[in-house]
């Protein structure tokens, strides 16, 4: 089955940021204790840093007084040791906080990737029909990485910065109110500027994350179909589209980074301006004997402790903007509608006991509610029959197979397997009953043996060799340096026809009562097709088979041929009966026969 896929498109803006944040909190719950410990350690580290300037003030006062009467070195040494201990413990707390957050964020990203992977397996196929694979991949990689990295780097910094900010304000007022007001007024403009920048730059971070998804989607599309792009000389058009997306991404990055980048130098200016104000006011107060010289030294450090958190908070908010955009995309995906829950279904069909009868009863289906594709499909298939489904493109052939496999839920009617409705069976149970050989081959990175044995462990090497002999692959595989242990990858040595033979061998190994062939011989040449056809004839023995075919010469021996058009069966019968009927099937068959004669 060849599921359609649209090209990259810009994802719509998530509707509910608050819901995304609630989802983020929900996924953080398993790590809540560790996060709380990390936050406490960050706060303790910040609090200890705040105590430092007070001790430095004492040292400064001792030295200042000592210049007149003699310095008490024992007391200076004692205070210095206390100060050294404070900063050492603060550093240890900071290290532990970073260590804990590194572990937590890595476990968090691991959990998210696991949830997304499981979510993908629960998503209906129509979601993947409407969204580019590159955008989905971007959510699993870029967005999760952004979320994890921001939590690791910004959460502890944000907590310690807020603690430093509040603590330094309290200590400044305890030390001297006039100096505290001076420091705060000189820095308050930084707050206003920071929030103005954040409000203006958030939209660019949203567009940045979405732009990465669109770019990934475009690259995935172009390189997956690179040969087609080159054959049709579409490189210039592809590059032009890439440049458009890349330029838009660059523009959003430039604007977002420029605005957020303004915060750091501006906060540095505010900090230096605060030093000047504190020195001027402190000098005036000292000259009037209102404060001693040590207060000025302490306040210079307090100003640093006050303005530095402002800069760090601004930087953290810049990172949190990317985190917010990424989390919206991740949790928007995790909140997508899934396939119906089947935990209440208890009926099970044993594939070893299934007879093989299938009945479609008044089946109706449409990908969209307002557009019905399959209008009233009725057919009864006896055990062991070979059913061929033919018709023009868009007639509903593959759709019927998708419904039979329960990839989509039917809108109305019923499908029965041995008299049991598929509505009463789980998808896993139904999939276990079918062998599928599709038009699009799928070969994963692994040995030939592993590819054929896929998801079935109790298969001997001899059985694998036996099916490969049947499909005509054995001789070629033996010619490879490592034989059946040859590892297939992106640069594998198999042609498209050989890949199709390999997937046919995989289907023969599965040994299920039903068989679906969706244009299974379309990728092989005429000579190989004869080998495959004989293999297919052997594979269909004793199995109820559904064959979707465009080459009508391959289905002459079918027990029943269904001619479909616009989602309905317009003709039904054997090959001879349909030719005698001289209808649409005969017209289609004769047109192919005429083409063969011309060639």
- Indicate if the pLDDT at residue 70 is higher than 80: no
In terms of residue numbers, what domain contains 366?
Answer: 358-598
341 assigned to some structural domain: no
Based on the fold, state whether residues 431 and 374 are members of the same structural domain: yes
pTM check: above 0.75: no
348 assigned to some structural domain: no
pLDDT of residue 1: 39
- Output the DSSP codes for 234-249: -HHHHHHHHHHHHHHH
Based on the fold, state whether residues 29 and 168 are members of the same structural domain: yes
- Output the DSSP codes for 353-377: T----EEEEEEEE-SBTTB-SEEEE
Note the pLDDT tens digit of each residue in 543-558: 888 888 777 767 778 8
Structure tokens at 228: 């087609």
Note the pLDDT tens digit of each residue in 407-459: 888 888 899 999 889 888 888 888 888 888 777 777 777 888 888 888 777 78
Confidence of residue 8 (pLDDT cuts 50, 70, 90): very low
Cβ–Cβ < 8 Å for 271, 193: no
C-alpha R_g of the chain: 35
Based on the fold, state whether residues 387 and 292 are members of the same structural domain: no
The H or E element spanning position 572 is strand 568-573
pLDDT of residue 126: 76
Chain centroid to CA 472: 39
Q: What is the CATH number of the domain that holds 263?
A: 1.20.1560.10
Based on the fold, state whether residues 362 and 329 are members of the same structural domain: no
Range 18-27, long-range pairs (CB < 8 A, 24+ positions): 19/331, 19/335, 20/324, 20/327, 20/328, 20/331, 20/332, 21/324, 21/327, 23/327, 23/331, 23/334, 23/335, 24/147, 24/327, 24/331, 27/108, 27/111, 27/112, 27/115
The DSSP bridge partners found for residue 361 are 414
Q: In degrees to the nearest 10, what's the CA dihedral of 495, 497, 503, 506?
A: -90
Based on the fold, state whether residues 367 and 268 are members of the same structural domain: no
Q: Using CB atoms within 10 A of its CB, is residue 440 exposed (0-12), middle (13-18) or buried (19+)? A: middle
447 assigned to some structural domain: yes
Q: Using CB atoms within 10 A of its CB, is residue 136 exposed (0-12), middle (13-18) or buried (19+)? A: buried
572 assigned to some structural domain: yes
Confidence of residue 97 (pLDDT cuts 50, 70, 90): confident
User: What SS3 state is found at 347?
Assistant: strand
340 assigned to some structural domain: no
Based on the fold, state whether residues 187 and 240 are members of the same structural domain: yes
């Amino acid at each position: 089955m060849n599921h359609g896929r649209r090209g990259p498109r810009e994802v719509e803006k998530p509707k509910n940021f608050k819901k995304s944040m609630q989802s983020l909190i929900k996924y953080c719950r398993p790590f809540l204790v560790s996060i709380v410990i990390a936050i406490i350690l960050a706060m303790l580290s910040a609090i200890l840093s705040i105590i430092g300037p007070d001790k430095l003030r004492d040292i400064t006062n001792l030295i200042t007084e000592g210049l007149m009467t003699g310095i008490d070195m024992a007391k200076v040494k004692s205070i210095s040791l206390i100060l050294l201990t404070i900063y050492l413990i603060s550093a240890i707390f900071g290290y532990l906080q970073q260590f804990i957050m590194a572990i937590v964020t890595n476990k968090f990203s691991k959990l998210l990737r696991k949830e997304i992977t499981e979510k993908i397996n629960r998503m209906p196929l129509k979601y993947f029909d409407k969204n580019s694979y590159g955008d989905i991949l971007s959510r699993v990689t870029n967005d999760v990485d952004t979320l994890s990295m921001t939590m690791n780097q910004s959460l502890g910094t944000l907590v310690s910065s807020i603690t430093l900010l509040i603590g330094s304000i309290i200590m400044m007022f305890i030390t001297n109110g006039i100096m505290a007001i001076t420091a705060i007024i000189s820095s308050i403009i930084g707050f206003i500027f920071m929030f103005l920048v954040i409000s203006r730059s958030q939209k660019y971070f949203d567009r940045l994350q979405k732009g990465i998804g669109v770019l990934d989607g475009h690259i995935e599309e172009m390189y997956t179909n690179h040969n087609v792009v080159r054959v049709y000389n579409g490189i210039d058009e592809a590059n032009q589209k890439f440049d458009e997306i890349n330029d838009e991404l660059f523009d959003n990055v430039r604007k977002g980074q420029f605005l957020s980048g303004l915060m750091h130098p501006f906060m540095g200016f505010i900090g230096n301006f605060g030093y000047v104000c504190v020195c001027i006011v402190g000098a005036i107060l000292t000259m009037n004997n209102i404060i001693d010289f040590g207060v000025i030294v302490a306040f210079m450090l307090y100003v640093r402790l006050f303005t530095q958190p402002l800069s760090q908070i601004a930087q953290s908010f810049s990172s949190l903007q990317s985190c917010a955009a990424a989390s919206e995309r991740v949790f928007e995906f995790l909140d997508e509608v899934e396939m119906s829950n089947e935990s209440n279904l208890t009926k099970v069909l044993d594939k070893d006991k299934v007879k093989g009868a299938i009945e479609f009863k008044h089946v109706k289906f449409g990908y969209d509610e307002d557009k019905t594709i399959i209008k009233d499909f009725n057919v009864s298939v006896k055990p062991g029959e070979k059913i061929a489904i033919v018709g023009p493109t868009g007639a509903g052939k593959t759709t019927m197979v998708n419904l039979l496999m329960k990839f989509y839920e039917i809108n109305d009617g019923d499908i029965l397997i041995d008299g049991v409705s598929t509505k009463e069976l789980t998808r896993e149970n139904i999939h276990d009953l079918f062998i599928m050989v599709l038009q699009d081959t799928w070969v994963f990175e692994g040995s030939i043996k592993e590819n054929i044995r896929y998801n079935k462990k109790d298969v001997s090497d001899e059985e694998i060799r036996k099916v490969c002999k049947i499909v005509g692959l054995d001789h070629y595989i033996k010619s490879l340096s490592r034989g059946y242990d040859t590892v297939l990858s992106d640069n594998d040595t198999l042609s498209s026809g050989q890949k199709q033979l390999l997937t046919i061998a995989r289907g023969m190994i599965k040994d299920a009562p039903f068989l679906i062939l969706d244009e299974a011989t379309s990728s092989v040449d005429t000579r190989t097709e004869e080998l495959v056809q004989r293999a297919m004839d052997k594979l269909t023995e004793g199995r109820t088979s559904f064959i979707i075919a465009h080459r009508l010469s391959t289905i002459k021996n079918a027990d029943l041929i269904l001619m479909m058009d616009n989602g309905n069966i317009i003709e039904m019968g054997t090959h001879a009966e349909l030719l005698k009927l001289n209808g649409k099937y005969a017209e289609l068959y004769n047109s192919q026969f005429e083409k063969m004669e011309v060639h």
